[in-house]
A = this chain, B = another copy of it.
């Protein structure tokens, strides 16, 4: 079977795109900036990704995979004896406490789906994945609600530059869990 593309080259471009979005935002993403960051010629980026949306889809998908690994590696979601609300609140605190660039990157790619229909299936996939994970500890409706609430809490912290209040988050998350 013939190789239809060179995964290494393609991967380098995706990695570069994620770095560019992290540093300059989606507004700073172009075939040229990504080519420079990946140290490949311009034609190479346009060949592998005809449109920037294609590149964004690949970047968002990869970011989601990285995210899923972090979640999984934390465990805690599996153990039914831990306090789920506290677990989630603590995890959000850890996430938000770190480098703001990383958080901004994930959310910017995620929120870009608002205007770019091509990204919506990937965004939906991410939300569904997280909800599925939470479903191991609670029912499906609650899981979906927890995802929504966590999104809202994170966004408020990021958009309004209010510092994250873990105690508040834990309290409110607990109310949603029946």
Contact = CB atoms under 8 A, between A and B. Distances in A.
Which of A124, A141, A156, A158 has the most chain B CB atoms inside 10 A of its CB? A156
Contacts of A104: 114-115
B162 A124 contact: yes
A86 interface: no
Contacts of A176: 149, 172, 175-176
A127 B178 contact: no
- What secondary structure prevails in chain A residues at the interface with B? helix
Protomer copies: 2
Interface stretch (A6-14, A68-76, A105-113): A105-113
A1 interface: no
Contacts of A120: 159-161
B160 A124 contact: yes
B115 A159 contact: no
A115 B105 CA distance: 10
Contacts of A108: 114-115
A159 B108 CA distance: 12
Interface in A136-170: 141, 144-145, 147-153, 155-156, 158-162, 168
Contacts of A175: 145, 175-176, 178
A57 B91 CA distance: 33
Contacts of A152: 147-153, 155
